[in-house]
Amino acid sequence: MEELAKESISLLASASAKPPLDVEPRLGSMGAVFIMLKSALGAGLLNFPWAFERAGGVRSAVSVELISLVFLISGLIILGYSSSISGQYTYQAVVKKLCGRAIGQLCEICFVFNLFMISVAFLVIVNDQLEKCE
């Protein structure tokens, strides 16, 4: 485990020392704001009390979240390693470089579809909350 941590730190240090290889346009300020809002206000956040009650209480809900956290961190480590070996700085660029152009375009289509479905989920949850207020 200690060896993995040292390797991760050395990868981060070497990645920060390299000049940028990706010449594509960077994420703008407006895009960053919307990504942060999406992350901070996830659709499930609006229904946490209901979800905790349905899961059997705080203890079981937190247990499920901790298990999910393991998968999330694993995915981020894999993505970081893939980014360092491919020399790319965005998720889409890493997928295009490692999996090919066709899979990269499929990834972009899935990303847009995901954003659409998140918007629909927000509308449904906001509508439910408004109906409860009336």
Number of Cβ within a 10 Å radius of residue 88: 19
**How much is the pLDDT for 102?**
92
pLDDT digits (tens, 9 = 90+) for 86-115: 888 888 888 888 889 999 888 888 888 888
pLDDT tens-digit series, residues 39-55: 666 666 666 777 777 77
2 pLDDT above the threshold of 60 = no
Count of C-beta atoms within a 10 Å radius of residue 73: 10
Cβ atoms of residues 46 and 113 within 8 Å: no
